[in-house]
Amino acid sequence: MPGTENLAVPTSEPINSHGGQAAGTPCNVIPSALFDPVGKGMIDLYPNARNTFDALGTNYANVPVRSLDENEFDIRVDHSFSPKDSVFARFSYDQATSFIPGGSPGFAEPSAFASTQNITNHGRNVAVSETHVFSDRTVNQLNAGFNRIFNHILSFGDKSCEAAKLGIQGANLDSSCPGAPPGLSQSGKDCMSCGLSATLMRQGSYSSRS
């Protein structure tokens, strides 16, 4: 994120009514009077520079840690009721929680709502089989099974309504978010559309004229 810290440096240089400055005024810093409050709020989400990598043209480094905690087991039962009647049953269980971080801390991630997530995985499987021998020519096998995999994803900033707090209009579309129309709830458990809008910051230039 080279150069973004310059945008946050205020200057008291006067500006004209049309937003320009007098000829000869340095233009490498945007005057604080021209700061867009929403843009300034988004810039402030970015951390200060703390490293210099001239070869890469970057000034910030972060090494996030991904975590995984998983428990799983299988139970199997085989039983013969008689030489002609047997049953088999199996139950498989898997429960995992993982944290998948983004590259930048907090809301500085370009899409924090989609890239910094806590994920809970629920996996269950049941299988039952019964085999009955009627004769040396007739055998019947009855199979039944159940399989369920469910993932619950809790995104960073869930229920924070950060976009509305910054003043981005129409970004939070869940009815529990400030200013959102009623009846738009996407989930009874989470505020699915109440975080921060995905953003892309680009280094640009600023010019003025008298």
Q: What ranges do the domains of the chain cover? A: 4-157
At 139 the pLDDT is 95
Mean pLDDT over all residues of the chain? 78
User: What are residue 114's phi and psi, to 5 degrees?
Assistant: -110, -10
Buried b (16+ CB within 10 A) or exposed e, 128-146: eeeeeeeeeeeeeeeeeee
> How many separate helices (H) and strands (E) can be counted in the chain?
3, 4
At 203 the pLDDT is 60
User: What are residue 163's phi and psi, to 5 degrees?
Assistant: -60, -45
Closest CA to 171 of 198, 192, 201, 197: 197
At 181 the pLDDT is 58
User: What are residue 152's phi and psi, to 5 degrees?
Assistant: -110, 120
Could you tell me which residues are beta bridge partners of residue 86? 80, 131
pTM of the complete model beyond 0.75: no
Q: Which residue has the higher pLDDT, 29 or 129?
A: 129
Length of the chain, in residues: 210
Rounded CA gap, 204 and 196, in Å? 23
Q: pLDDT, tens digit, for every residue of 44-58?
A: 888 887 766 667 777
Residues 6+ apart with CB under 8 A from 209: 20, 21, 23
pLDDT band at 1; cut points 50, 70, 90: very low
At 210 the pLDDT is 38
Half-sphere exposure of 158 (CA within 13 A, CB side): 17
